[in-house]
């Protein structure tokens, strides 16, 4: 009996060591990835920030994992990151690759969460301090990465001017922050009021971003289907009153989906069709969207037949 107990205790003590060894091996295997040899990737977070400060370039960061398989990571790392186009793009940024390993005590082991990530791969552009400027959305290609990085560079250029006291740049920067979700609508308006009077062009851009932000903030507060229905009726009323709708992806989708529901309840085929066309033009070709649009087409046909 005693020998059995001792054996069980020893097995319990050995398990974490075996697990740690397995995680180390998985990490080592990840570090052998071919794409890491294709461009000048930096694996140390501190060094990446140091190089960004020296060069003035933004940090293009990719977060991946080694502790378990990640098909999406594999597709990226053995696809877009291996191309010659990506190698050319990489010259304009500081490349930083972070691996979440689950190895206890590893430096910056929780960096993914600290930077707002909750899934892999997570791709962001950061400034030299490590603050996230934006998360890359959309296609995972050198061309698309270049567009995201260009947006980040524009953001940094405006920020630099604003930091130096340029009143116009302060207005532009607050509007940019609003559009990127870094400021709420009331915060942006307060910052702009403190900076001075916007030009006509600046006011037009601000008005667009305020619509996007107000939709995002309203949708973000929803906690039930009942609340969603009420908000949808508000969006529908705004649409009928001729008010401008959102233009940003992170607001447009929710706005028009809720508007469609309200238009259907109001038996308004024209408003339903208008919203449907906007959604279809934007998302109709997306993978997995077919069922949604087929259902909405049936709803539209039913509404038109009742007219």
Q: How many CB atoms lie within 10 A of CB 224?
A: 8
Domain 2-149 has CATH 2.30.110.10: no
Given pLDDT bands bounded at 50, 70 and 90, which one contains residue 6?
very low
Which residues 6+ apart lie within 8 Å of 128 measured at CB?
Answer: 49, 52, 53, 56, 58, 59
pLDDT tens readout for residues 138-167 = 899 999 999 999 999 999 999 999 999 999
Q: Do the beta carbons of residue 125 and residue 136 sit within 8 Å?
A: yes
% the chain with pLDDT above 90 = 90
Predicted confidence (pLDDT) per residue in 198-218, tens digit: 999 999 999 999 999 999 999
| Cβ burial 116-134 (10 Å sphere, 16+ → b, else e) | ebeebbbbbbbbbebebbb
Sorted by where each begins, the domain ranges of the chain are: 2-149, 167-218, 222-306
pLDDT of residue 138: 86
Whether residue 236 is predicted with pLDDT greater than 60 in this model: the reply is: yes
Task: Check: CB of residue 109 under 8 Å from CB of residue 100.
Answer: yes
Let me know: does 144 contact 138? Beta carbons within 8 Å.
yes
For residue 5, pLDDT beyond 80: no
Computed over every residue of the chain, the mean pLDDT equals 93
**Residue pLDDT, tens place only, 62-97:** 999 999 999 999 999 999 999 999 999 999 999 999
Q: What are the pLDDT digits (tens) for 255-306? A: 999 999 999 999 999 999 999 999 999 999 888 899 999 999 999 999 999 8
């Amino acid at each position: 009996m005693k020998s059995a107990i001792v054996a069980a205790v020893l097995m319990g003590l050995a398990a974490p060591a075996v697990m740690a060894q397995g995680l180390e091996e998985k990490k080592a295997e990840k570090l052998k990835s071919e794409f890491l040899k294709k461009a000048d990737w930096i694996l140390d977070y501190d060094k990446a920030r140091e190089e960004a400060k020296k060069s003035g370039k933004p940090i293009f960061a990719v977060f991946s994992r080694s502790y378990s398989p990640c098909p999406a990571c594999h597709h990226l790392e053995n696809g877009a990151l291996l191309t010659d186009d990506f190698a050319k793009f990489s010259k304009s940024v500081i490349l930083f690759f972070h691996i979440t390993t689950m190895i206890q005590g590893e430096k910056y082991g929780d960096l993914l969460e600290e930077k707002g990530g909750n899934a892999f791969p997570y791709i962001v552009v950061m400034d030299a301090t490590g603050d996230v400027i934006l998360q890359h959305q959309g296609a995972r290609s050198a061309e698309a990465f270049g567009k995201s990085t260009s947006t980040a560079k524009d953001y940094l250029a405006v920020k630099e001017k604003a930091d130096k006291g340029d009143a116009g740049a302060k207005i532009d920067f607050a509007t940019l922050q609003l559009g990127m979700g870094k400021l709420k609508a009331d915060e942006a308006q307060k910052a702009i009021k403190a900076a001075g009077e916007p030009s006509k062009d600046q006011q037009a851009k601000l008005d667009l971003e305020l619509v996007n932000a107000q939709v995002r903030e309203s949708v973000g507060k929803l906690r039930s289907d009942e609340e969603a229905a009420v908000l949808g009726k508000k969006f529908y009323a705004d649409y009928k009153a001729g008010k401008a709708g959102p233009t940003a992806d992170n607001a447009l989708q929710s706005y028009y989906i809720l508007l469609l529901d309200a238009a259907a309840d109001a038996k308004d085929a024209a408003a339903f069709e208008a919203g449907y066309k906007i959604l279809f033009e934007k998302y109709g070709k997306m993978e997995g969207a077919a069922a949604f649009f087929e259902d909405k087409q049936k709803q539209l046909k039913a509404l038109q037949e009742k007219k």
